[in-house]
Amino acid sequence: MSGLAIARDVAALRGQVAGWRRAGETVGLVPTMGALHEGHLTLVRRAKERCDRAVATIFVNPKQFDRKEDLESYPRSEAEDVRLLESVGCDLLFAPLDVAVIYPPGFVTRVSVAGLSACLDGLHRPGHFDGVTTVVSKLLLQALPDVAFFGEKDFQQQTIVRRMARDLDIPVEIAAVPTVREADGLAMSSRNRLLTPEQRALAPLLARVLNETAEAIAVDPTAEAAPFIAQARLRLGRGGFDKIDYVELRAADDLGELASLERPGRLLAAAWLGRTRLIDNVAVG
């Protein structure tokens, strides 16, 4: 029998959190879709460092998949996920077995963050961020943690979630945690396990190109970034990536478009190796 407490419905989740609250304890939340890796475990560790209790959630959210085949192929491994969460001292797992726990019959509400959701991944994955903000708003309200932890690998996502929480007066701090990487620089992602050995060997080029491009842009903040970005796209294509959705320089605070490095920036990219889409980003300046 697992030592990790598992809540399968909202009432059980709220009941456990309420008990901690009565004891004066703080709560950190780590929302995930499972298929956990060291990046997720780092978020749980950060939650344990900052809060008395750490809650992880596992829910493969159908509303954030723009392609049915992606939803069907998304890796699921609850038993292994539970083992990993136990290894880092997670206090509670909220893992509904039925989609209806999150989206009961008749559910029609959608949470959408205009502007921030319309660029980058929002252009290439229609409806994706509406699905993210809808489920995250529900998870925040269901658990009502003090702090929710998100990885910077999904930089656009954590920016959108922070804006959503602020706009809706959800009393939860949104904390960003730096991207965790493999030894060769590849950003850790549940999707990495879908790569073939040949694709996995090519994948670290994405991070390498982003880092080198960011360094080049930072040399002269007044210079136009477009030539450096064009070169980055060319390198990725020549390096074996099948399709490049975007490589863009954006403002770090609000994802506004930047022609040059007039304020702190973020270089973000999304590219495909076969049927697997990888995203990554690095700070600039």
What is the predicted pLDDT for the residue at 3? 86
Q: In what order do the strands lie in the sheet with 5-7?
A: 5-7, 92-94, 53-58, 27-32, 147-151, 173-177
Query: Which residues have CB under 8 Å from 56's CB, separation 6+?
Result: 29, 30, 31, 32, 40, 44, 85, 90, 92, 93, 94
Catalytic-residue membership of 128: no
Binding residues for (R)-pantoate: 64, 157
Instruction: Assign 70 a pLDDT band (cuts: 50, 70, 90).
Output: confident
Question: Which residues, in sequence order, are bridge partners of residue 65?
Answer: none
Residue 76 and residue 60: Cα distance in Å, rounded? 8
| 65, 106 Cβ separation under 8 angstroms | no
| 30, 47 Cβ separation under 8 angstroms | yes
* Domain parsing of the chain, residue ranges: 5-177, 190-284
What is the predicted pLDDT for the residue at 276? 95
Q: Residue 248: enclosing H or E segment and its boundaries?
A: strand 243-251
pLDDT at 281 over 60: yes
**Phi then psi for 174, rounded to 5 degrees?**
-100, 115
Residue 17 and residue 140: Cα distance in Å, rounded? 12
Structure confidence by residue, pLDDT tens digits, 81-90:
999 999 999 9
Query: Which residues have CB under 8 Å from 261's CB, separation 6+?
Result: 217, 218, 221, 222, 223, 225, 249, 284, 285
Average pLDDT over residues 154-158: 98
Structure confidence by residue, pLDDT tens digits, 9-65:
999 999 999 999 999 999 999 999 999 999 999 999 999 999 999 999 999 999 999
Question: Where are the extended beta strands (E) located within 152-208?
Answer: 173-177
| 60, 32 Cβ separation under 8 angstroms | no
What is residue 68's three-state secondary structure? helix
Average pLDDT over residues 65-93: 92
Q: Regarding the domain with residue range 5-177, which homologous superfamily does it belong to in the CATH classification?
A: HUPs (3.40.50.620)
Give the side-chain half-sphere CA count within 13 A for 83. Answer: 6
Q: Choose the weakest-confidence range: 62-66, 80-84, 129-133, 180-184.
A: 62-66
Q: And the tokens for 261?
A: 């490095």
Output the pTM of the full model. 0.95
In eight-state DSSP terms, residue 154 is: G
Instruction: Assign 66 a pLDDT band (cuts: 50, 70, 90).
Output: confident
Q: Which of 7, 13, 30, 40 is catalytic?
A: 40
Binding residues: 33-40, 64, 151-154, 157, 180, 188-191
Look up the CATH number of domain 190-284: 3.30.1300.10
pLDDT at 2 over 70: no
Binding residues for beta-alanine: 64
What is residue 275's three-state secondary structure? coil
Residue 245 and residue 255: Cα distance in Å, rounded? 17
Please count the other Cβ atoms lying within 10 Å of the Cβ belonging to residue 212: 15
Max Cα-Cα span within the chain: 60
Query: Which residues have CB under 8 Å from 123's CB, separation 6+?
Result: 246
Q: Residue 150: enclosing H or E segment and its boundaries?
A: strand 147-151
| 73, 110 Cβ separation under 8 angstroms | no
Asked if the domains 5-177 and 190-284 are classified in one and the same CATH topology, the answer is no
Instruction: Assign 1 a pLDDT band (cuts: 50, 70, 90).
Output: very low
pLDDT at 186 over 90: yes
Share of the chain above pLDDT 70, in %: 99
Instruction: Assign 108 a pLDDT band (cuts: 50, 70, 90).
Output: very high
